[in-house]
Amino acid sequence: MIIYACHGAAKQVTGSCHLIICNRRRILIDCGLFQGGREIEQANAEPFEFDPASIDALLLTHAHLDHCGRIPLLVKRGFRGRIYTTAATRELARVVLLDSAGLQEEDARRAAVRKRNGNGRNGNGRNGDTPEGPLYTIDDALHALDFFAADVTYGDPVQVTDGIRARFLDAGHILGSASVLLELDDGHVQRRMLFSGDLGNSGRPIVRDPLPAATADYVVMESTYGDRPHRSVPDSVEELYQAIRETYARRGNVVIPTFALERTQEILYYLHQGIRNGSLPTNLRVFLDSPMAISATEIFRRHPECFDLDFIAELEHGDPFDMPGLHFTRETSESMAINSIESGAVILAGSGMCNGGRVRHHLKHNLWRERSSVVFVGYAAEGTLARRIVDGASTVQIFNNDIPVRAQVWTINGFSAHADQPALLDWLGAAQRRRIFLVHGEYERGMRKFQEVLEARGFDCHLPGMGESIKID
């Protein structure tokens, strides 16, 4: 018997985690953190709906936190199998998991201080108790890294366990990202099951385009933007340039909350292009204020096997991430010094959803200034600080301070690393499948709308519930 169960990203966007049982073996596809508001994030501390010690292997599609962020917790609670992924994902996951552990330790220390002071509010202004300690520590994250197996090459078969073989296929989402094709054999039934992971859009400047969906009986498919198309990349780039030019002209700063993986590197690339072709001021000061993003950018340079051919050609003429006014700020003191700059700065800092990281400090110093701008270039989950700003909040709370939102707010969705509806349909193709399972989407938006589109095309679709066991026949 072959069983599939969704233990994350079920009728929601975050916390991707999928269980396959075949031939009495149990494997996971991803094990990510739940991200969003407090109610969503509370799920991270809950026991897994399966015994971590019973899992034979984990296949990691890519290094975003909502796909890999609970791996140290999985190991902490008993997992002793092997973790399979691409070389680039393994390197990026190390950076992401250590950063996540450090932030959790920091949050735990702050929570302890608030408890001693009798203050029940956290740094994002949400009320209520916080866990007594971090989900996992830096030591836990380092221990988890010991379970990563030899690097997987795109397209090569991996014998995961008896009855389960996998192939990693380029998903074009971020560096090293993959869809995972499983060949399942329980001794009676043989089935091919494809997990999309997160899918990218074609025509991006750095990573290759996603490979079309492989032939499979069942497809577990993301639906983040299943309800709409993105704005075109050229129009999005021009809007970014417009936001910077207008802010520069009125002597303000531009704060760009960015995800450390892919989005940061892509924005750096477009800023470099804009300065070079005259679309942006040549004396623009750009601050990459994210130690994790700086490390990720260095990792990007080491993995040309993931690059688009045009990008490889550009590398022959110099570093496409570099520009005269670019400053990498690793140290806390360097980050704090940026807050004294009143005009002419473009500040890239994480996290992209503004629920953690240095970007909150820059928002605290710039959101209230009419001359400044905040430019969102990525997805903002429900319950996050980014989402509250995008949705038009007049005041937000940052570090227990009420900050009025007077800066100009720009939302540019064409930079998304997630495929839009047309790209999702192109990836899937017209070949019929036994069933398509839709995951990783807002239930009432991307997921339901995409289900309607697929069913109108004759596909059998199902939206699995959390922990629902489904027989693969």
- List the CATH code of the domain at 233-415: 3.40.50.10890
Alpha-carbon span 115 to 132, nearest angstrom? 10
pLDDT value, residue 223 = 97
pLDDT value, residue 120 = 54
Q: Is 340 exposed, middle or buried (0-12, 13-18, 19+ CB in 10 A)?
A: exposed
Amino acid at 256: I
- Domain coordinates in residue numbering, the chain: 2-227+418-471, 233-415
pLDDT value, residue 45 = 93
Alpha-carbon span 58 to 52, nearest angstrom? 11
Angstrom distances, CA of residue 79 to CA of 23, 112, 447: 19, 29, 31
Q: What is the CA radius of gyration of the chain?
A: 22
With 0.85 as the threshold, say if the pTM is over it. yes
Alpha-carbon span 28 to 117, nearest angstrom? 42
Q: What is the secondary structure of 262-303 as a DSSP string?
A: THHHHHHHHHHHHHHHTSS-TT-EEEE--HHHHHHHHHHHT-
The neighbouring-strand residues paired with 221 are 438
Helix, strand, or coil (residue 414): helix
Alpha-carbon span 194 to 389, nearest angstrom? 36
- What fold is seen in the domain 2-227+418-471? Metallo-beta-lactamase; Chain A (3.60.15)
pLDDT value, residue 131 = 54
Bridge-based pairing state of the strands 164-170 and 82-84: unpaired
Which residues of the chain are under the pLDDT cut of 70? 119-132
Closest of 344, 381, 376 to residue 359, by C-alpha: 376
> What does the H/E/C string look like for 70-135?
CHHHHHHCCCCCEEECEHHHHHHHHHHHHHHHHHHHHHHHHHHHHHHHCCCECCCCCECCCCCCCC
Helix, strand, coil fractions of the chain, as percent rounded to 5: 35, 20, 45
Q: What is the pLDDT of residues 39-64, one digit of tens each?
A: 888 899 999 999 999 999 999 999 99
Q: What is the pLDDT of residues 185-226, one digit of tens each?
A: 999 999 999 999 999 998 888 999 999 999 999 999 999 999
Alpha-carbon span 315 to 296, nearest angstrom? 17
Tokens 């109610």, located at residue: 39
